[in-house]
Chain A
Amino acid sequence: MARYLMQRIITMFLVAFFVVTATFFLMRALPGGPFSSERNVPEAILKNLERRYNLDKPLHEQYLDYVKGVIVWDLGPSFKYKGLTVNDVINRGFPISAKLGGISLLLSIVVGIPLGILGAMNHNTIGDRAISGGAILTAAAPSFVIAGVLQYVFAYKLGWFPSATWGGGQLRYIVLPILALSSYNLAWIVKLTRSSMLEVINQDYVRTARAKGLRELVIVYRHMIKNAMVPVVASLAPMTASILTGSFIVENVFGIPGIGREFVQSITNRDYTVTLGMTVFFCLLLVGFTLIADIVLAFIDPRVRLEKEG
């Protein structure tokens, strides 16, 4: 187990390092400098600006500086927000996004898993078909469509919720964004839980348990659900990724001042350091969640634990 953990952590650092490097050079390879949108800047001032942001140094020095910065978690100043650092931009948006994302993820899990189990336990009944049909439809709809429909129906038509404003982030402001953000994951968890339960239901070890004389409820919990959860836990990282990408759209549609909207704005603003810093931040977040998923997986599935230890 310790060896497995070490392996995962080392891999995580390698991936993070690779991501920082790749993002840094890709950003530099993009055409147009950070100040090229500001027209008619005199040559001298441009030089001055570039010196201030260290853009006049050779590329490899800039790269080394950047890596050092990431290690001490100092992502440099923002180009657009005078007086703000990239860390400031992340620190101010992240709590909001994390709250929305966290609740969405929790909601998908808490609602999705029981629905999936219910569907599988009533396989091929009308209830099961309603559940999986709903899940397929929801998963097929892109999040901007879901966000738009929710806005239109519940905010504009019915007026139950405020539309496209953030307010102070009280309950009535976050209900629709959370629904929009969790819809895809919810559908995904329902489908995954259902299909993985269906697979487990027909396993011989479930029959073995029944032949032993175990009570049905215990069989369902101990032998079916616990085994069926393995693929669901394994998809924790992709689900986090979908929350991140979902937040780019949902935060814009609902006018939420989180890092998703901040990220999209930084791209339109050509705010290089913010875009770069946030990409690195998102990647580290993902890598972190992958690690968490790997650890949980090792706890619930001995095959993972031992296979990797060799």
Chain B
Amino acid sequence: MTKQATPLIEVKGLKMHFPITRGFPVPRQVGAVQAVDDVSFAIAPGETLGLVGESGCGKTTVGRTLLRLYEPTAGEVYFEGQEILHLSQSEFLPYRRKMQMIFQDPYASLDPRMTAADIIGEALDIHNLASGKERMERIYHLLDLVGLLPEHANRFPHEFSGGQRQRIGIARALAVEPQFIVCDEPISALDVSIQAQVVNLLEDLQQQLGLAYLFIAHDLSMVKHISHRIAVMYLGRIVELADSDRLYERPMHPYTLALLSAAPIPDPKVETTRQRILLEGDPPSPVNPPPGCRFQNRCAYAQERCRTEDPKLTEVEDGHSVACHFPVNA
């Protein structure tokens, strides 16, 4: 899958800066957490874009902002060519149906006072998708689709295991028949034995329903299998974006290399060719990102130019972009 296909979702220059307020009794803004700073990418229909990076680099914020769960600082998001961030709430409602989210923590994402049927049914009600007997049938169908049983309908979230809850979360997202789902680390909180089941379920659903995913993970090994393309994020920016295989075979950004060397890859070809790079230190604070390249203080390849000049994400080969002055393997 490459970018020749018409994008379903197109994100342009997305920025999400959370204001920091201090002062008593009247709070003032004293700064901002630059959680997402100028991020652009596109996702084709039926495609999975993996989004990886260390915890705190802004992955969740990207997902939430493009679903308008946050009010973005700047940027545009196009859904099938229609800009959606600046629509009014009522104009945006139909797009809510088309874009859904699956959350990382299956314990926190379901209202503890509602049964599985209520949780799924509420989504149907909002968009008037089904009522009466048909509504119940839809709910059973959705439960079946994610591998749950009809008798699960009247149970409360805490009566389910983590994996089952995540399935309810998926059924709930599917209820409104979306075309695109943000999967925010949907397997990180699950037992390793359950992780593969949920990933397989998501892949099956993609096949059946033609869904597009933004699949978020903090670890490259989790996204390799499911993603067509992968975007690597560092401190609010995308630093490298390429086809999944290409990224593993020929990583260019020093940060991607470091991530790869941290993750064991079950592929001997990759395993023998990749370089070992260890990440030292912590990423700088997103409140005060350094001038120049944001990765400079941890980068083994950094030179003078990196301290002053901010590298822009540029395409170095077909469908492979990197934000680095001195890309490796280029």
Which A residues fall within an 8 A CB radius of B? 124-126, 129-130, 133, 203-205, 207-214, 223, 226-227, 300-303, 306-307
Instruction: Give the nearest-CB partner of B27 in chain A.
Output: A124
Quote the shortest CB–CB distance from A137 to chain B (angstroms): 13
User: Which residue in B21, B96, B110, B111 is a CB contact (below 8 Å) of A211?
Assistant: B96
Q: Are A126 and B113 in contact (CB under 8 A)?
A: no
Whole-angstrom CA separation of A226 from B112 in the bound complex: 10
Q: Are A211 and B159 in contact (CB under 8 A)?
A: no
Which B residues fall within an 8 A CB radius of A? 21, 24-27, 64, 67, 69, 93, 96-97, 100-101, 103-105, 108-113, 122-123, 126-127, 156, 158-159, 169, 172-173, 176
Number of A-B contacts (CB under 8 A): 77
Q: A205-B110, A212-B176, A301-B112 are in contact. List 4 more A-B contacts (CB 8 A).
A: A125-B27, A130-B25, A204-B108, A213-B123
Quote the shortest CB–CB distance from A161 to chain B (angstroms): 31
In the bound complex, residues from chain B placing their C-beta under 8 Å from that of A209 are 111, 122
Q: Are A204 and B103 in contact (CB under 8 A)?
A: yes
Q: Please list the 6 inter-chain residue pairs (A to B) with the smallest Cβ-Cβ separation, ordered nearest first.
A: A213-B96, A204-B109, A204-B108, A205-B111, A302-B156, A204-B103
In the bound complex, residues from chain A placing their C-beta under 8 Å from that of B64 are 207
Main secondary structure of the interface of B (DSSP, over half): loop
Q: Are B100 and A211 in contact (CB under 8 A)?
A: yes
Instruction: Give the nearest-CB partner of A301 in chain B.
Output: B113
Whole-angstrom CA separation of A79 from B219 in the bound complex: 78
Whole-angstrom CA separation of A307 from B156 in the bound complex: 11
Q: Are A212 and B126 in contact (CB under 8 A)?
A: yes
Whole-angstrom CA separation of A243 from B209 in the bound complex: 60
Quote the shortest CB–CB distance from B140 to chain A (angstroms): 19
Quote the shortest CB–CB distance from A97 to chain B (angstroms): 35
Q: Are A207 and B103 in contact (CB under 8 A)?
A: yes
Q: Are B96 and A212 in contact (CB under 8 A)?
A: yes
Q: Are B111 and A227 in contact (CB under 8 A)?
A: yes
In the bound complex, residues from chain A placing their C-beta under 8 Å from that of B176 are 212-213
Main secondary structure of the interface of A (DSSP, over half): helix
Q: Are A213 and B158 in contact (CB under 8 A)?
A: no
Q: Are B158 and A306 in contact (CB under 8 A)?
A: yes
Q: Are B69 and A211 in contact (CB under 8 A)?
A: yes
Whole-angstrom CA separation of A124 from B27 in the bound complex: 7
In the bound complex, residues from chain B placing their C-beta under 8 Å from that of A301 are 112-113
User: Which residue in A130, A133, A210, A300 is a CB contact (below 8 Å) of B113?
Assistant: A300
Quote the shortest CB–CB distance from A254 to chain B (angstroms): 34
Contacts A208-B172, A213-B96, A306-B156 given; does A226 touch B103 at CB 8 Å? no
Instruction: Give the nearest-CB partner of B110 in chain A.
Output: A205
Q: Are A208 and B110 in contact (CB under 8 A)?
A: yes
Interface core residue of B24, B109, B159 (most chain A CB under 10 Å): B109
User: Which residue in A130, A208, A214 is a CB contact (below 8 Å) of B103?
Assistant: A208
Q: Are B111 and A303 in contact (CB under 8 A)?
A: no
Whole-angstrom CA separation of A307 from B112 in the bound complex: 13
- Chain A to chain B contacts (Cβ below 8 Å), 5 pairs: A205-B112, A213-B123, A213-B127, A302-B156, A303-B158
In the bound complex, residues from chain A placing their C-beta under 8 Å from that of B103 are 204, 207-208
Quote the shortest CB–CB distance from A235 to chain B (angstroms): 18
Quote the shortest CB–CB distance from A217 to chain B (angstroms): 12
User: Which residue in A210, A223, A300, A303 is a CB contact (below 8 Å) of B156?
Assistant: A303
Quote the shortest CB–CB distance from B58 to chain A (angstroms): 17
Q: Are B112 and A207 in contact (CB under 8 A)?
A: no
Whole-angstrom CA separation of A209 from B24 in the bound complex: 33
Interface core residue of A125, A205, A227, A307 (most chain B CB under 10 Å): A205
Quote the shortest CB–CB distance from A112 to chain B (angstroms): 21
Q: Are A212 and B158 in contact (CB under 8 A)?
A: no
Q: Are B172 and A303 in contact (CB under 8 A)?
A: no
In the bound complex, residues from chain A placing their C-beta under 8 Å from that of B113 are 226-227, 300-302
